[in-house]
Homo-oligomer: A and B are copies of this chain.
Amino acid sequence: MSDPLAKSTAPLHSVHPASTQAIAADLIALLVAVTAGDPRVLTIQDQNALPSGPFELAHRSLQSGLRAWVERQTGLPLGYVEQLYTFADRDRTGAADQRIISISYLGLTREQAESSQYEASWRSWYEYFPWEDHRLGIPTMEKTLRSGLAAWIAAAPDQTTRSHRRQRAARLFGLEDHLWNEELVLQRYELLYEARLIPEALRGDGATAETAVAAFVPGDPMILDHRRILATGIARLRAKIKYRPVVFELMPDTFTLLQLQRCVEALAGKLVHKPNFRRLIEQQELVEDTGETSQETGGRPAKLFRFRRAVLAERAIAGTKLPVSGA
């Protein structure tokens, strides 16, 4: 094979001299655990930022950089790690001559004693996205949301736009005759951003709260685009649990089937049909009986199961299914 480095630099090229521009790289970690029926994320700085760290030359790769750094700083065992997205939007930092590329990662773990030395703490992701939790039916904040959307629709400049907005809001938020689709987390966030119903939308353009079409929808914001990264991660995870056995990374070694179900429900933000859930789990032989039972269920004792690690090898990617269909 010819040496590509010997080639001259053409407009389309595959290897070019490194530009000595001020570019820095940043790793952002979205660490998720499920505790007591709540999906939690690790946050720092008054709970409104995701942990991050610089990518350094010493790191072998992006992922190993993140792994090393998270495990050293928090002592958390990172079972499953996957790259989420890479951002480099200009308005992420103030400086115009400086560019930060942020590579975000999703990591699944189990909640540990809080590493308070770093002012880190776990928070339910529904504190940032209250409209995403449909486990107890329509969230109570729904009224604010509906009226906010209505105001945005009404504020459209013309009839066509108005109709489009109504359609889009209905589809994304399961209004009119649309069903709620729990995977559209990012699209919903983007709509709320566009509709200026969340504080992030007013940043940077010198706008004040008065410019908002209506009152903000409940839910805490985060710094920079961290809440957007969280939305991306939730969406990815909600999609993934349906065809990959990643939930088990969030479970203790042994668990009852109901505990497993509650974990899936916590992530999906909606309840699932119990008999069907059990059938699918057992049919696919995702778990094996430990022979023990748990008495702490409040009723008949439940069998304790353990994840069959063998399935990771058997179907490494081939396919497993978890039901996230209605209750």
Q: A residues within 8 Å of B by Cβ? A: 1-2, 4, 7, 10-16, 18-26, 44-46, 48-57, 59-62, 73-74, 83, 85-90, 96-101, 103, 118-120, 164, 167-168, 171, 181, 183-184, 187, 199, 221, 223-224, 226, 313-319
Contact = CB atoms under 8 A, between A and B. Distances in A.
Contacts of A164: 313
Contacts of A59: 88, 90
25 contacts: A4-B45, A4-B49, A13-B53, A14-B44, A14-B51, A14-B226, A15-B224, A16-B53, A16-B54, A18-B24, A18-B100, A20-B24, A21-B57, A23-B23, A23-B25, A55-B101, A59-B88, A60-B89, A61-B90, A62-B87, A83-B85, A171-B316, A181-B319, A184-B317, A184-B318
A14 B98 contact: no
- Give how many copies assemble into the complex: 2
Given A18-B24, A54-B19, A86-B103, A13 B316 contact: no
A21 B23 CA distance: 8
Contacts of A52: 12-14, 16
A152 to B, nearest CB: 17
Contacts of A1: 48, 199, 221, 223
Given A12-B51, A54-B19, A317-B187, A88 B62 contact: yes
A260 to B, nearest CB: 25
A10 B44 contact: yes
A52 B88 CA distance: 17
Contacts of A317: 183-184, 187
A22 B322 CA distance: 45
Contacts of A60: 89-90
Query: Which among A13, A96, A181, A187 has the highest number of chain B CB atoms within 10 Å?
Result: A13
B11 A118 contact: yes
